[in-house]
Amino acid sequence: MTTFPNERLKGIVPFVCAADAGSFTAAAQQLNLTSSAVSKSIARLEQRLGVVLFERTTRSLSLTDAGRAFYETCTNILGELAETEAALAAQKREPVGTVRIALPASFGRLCVVPVLLRFASQYPEVQPHLLFADRFVDLADEGIDLAVRIGGPQDLPSSLARHSMGQERLIFCAAPAYLERNSTPLTIDDLEKHDCVVYGRPDGTQSPWSYVQADGHIGQRVVRPHIAAGDAEAQLAFVRAGLGIAQLATWLVRDDLKAGRVVEILAEAATDGLPLSLIWPVARRRTPKINVLAQTLEAHLQIR
C-alpha cells in the first residue's frame, strides 16, 4: 500500500480555504484558527514546495500561476475525499459524484451515449462529463476518470489499466443506388474505376485502405479520392447518398446495413481494424462511481 508523508497534507486545507475566501483572515474565521496560524501554515507549504503560491498586497490576495495549478490539484483531491466520506457516512450503496469520460467522437455519439443514457437513469446521482475528441487524450493531464479508446498506444504506464472490448471490423460498402449506376466491383483493383470516399487527415493526406489479399496477408492501398472527409459520420453520409464507395467500421454502418441503405461489397477483402479499449487510472477504479460505470461500459461496448 502506498504511504504519504504527513508533510504532504499539511497546509493544503488552509491554502484552499484562503484561495477560496480571498484572504487569510476570512480563511482563519472559517477554520477557527488565527490569521497568523493560517499565514504561517501557507508559508511553510510554499517553503516545502519551493514556489510562491500567492501574490500578496495590503489589499488583495491572488494565486500565482503555480498557485492555480496546485489549487486545481488540491481541490480535486479534497473533492474526492469529500465524496468518499459522504458516501461512507450515509452508508450509501449508490455511486455519487462527477465522472469525467473521454470518448472518440463518432463512436462516442453512436455507441457510448446510448449506454450512458440508460446508466444515467439507473444512477441519477452520478454526473457524467463527456469529452468527445478524436485524438490521444492524456488522462492525468486532462483529469479523465475513464477513456474509451480506439487504437492508440498499447503500452500503458503502471498508473493506468486497460480492459479490451474487441476490435473493429472494416468493410467496403456502398449505397444500392450507386451500384446500380456504376456496377459492383468484384476485386480490389476494380476500385480504381470507382468514386471513393476516403478519410482525409488534417495535413491533406489520406488513410490507406487495408484489405485481405488472396494469399491471406493484409495489403494496403491508397485510392484516388472522389471525396475526402475527416469524419467517419460524414463519410457514411456521402456513401448513403450514393456518392461513392468507402471502407468503414461495422459499428458505424450496422444500422444502415440492416435497413438496406448501404450494402457490403468485396466481403472477402474485409479486415480487422483497430482495437477498442477502456482505460482508467488504477487508483480511481476503487471508487464506486468509477467502478460501476466501467462495469457497465465493459458489458455493453463489446464490438466486432
State the Cα angle at 260 between 256 and 263, rounded to 5°. Answer: 80
Which residues have a Cβ under 8 Å from the Cβ of 204 and sit 6 or more positions away? Answer: none
Q: What is the pLDDT of residue 78?
A: 83
pLDDT of residue 1: 42
In this prediction, residue 181 carries a pLDDT of: 95
Q: What is the pLDDT along the chain (304 residues), one digit of tens a residue?
A: 444 455 567 788 899 999 998 889 888 998 888 989 999 999 999 998 899 999 988 777 899 999 999 999 888 888 777 766 665 654 455 788 899 999 999 999 999 999 999 999 999 999 999 999 888 888 888 889 999 999 877 788 888 999 999 999 999 999 999 999 999 999 999 999 999 999 988 888 888 999 999 888 999 999 989 999 989 999 999 999 999 999 999 999 999 999 999 999 999 999 999 999 999 988 777 788 898 999 999 999 877 6
Q: Residue 87's pLDDT is what?
A: 56
Cα separations in angstroms, 120 against 68, 100, 247, 278, 298: 32, 14, 34, 19, 16
C-alpha cell at 299: 458489458
Other Cβ atoms closer than 10 A to 139:
21
What per-residue confidence (pLDDT) applies to 234? 95
Helix axes 12-21, 65-89, angle to 10 degrees: 110
Q: Report d(CA 88, CA 81) in Å as an integer.
A: 11
Cell of 304: 466486432
Task: Write down the pLDDT at residue 76.
Answer: 84
All domains of the chain in start order, with CATH = 6-89 (1.10.10.10), 97-166+275-300 (3.40.190.10), 168-272 (3.40.190.290)
Predicted local confidence at residue 93, as pLDDT: 59
pTM of the model: 0.67
**Which residues partner with 272 through β-bridges?**
169
pLDDT at 89: 54
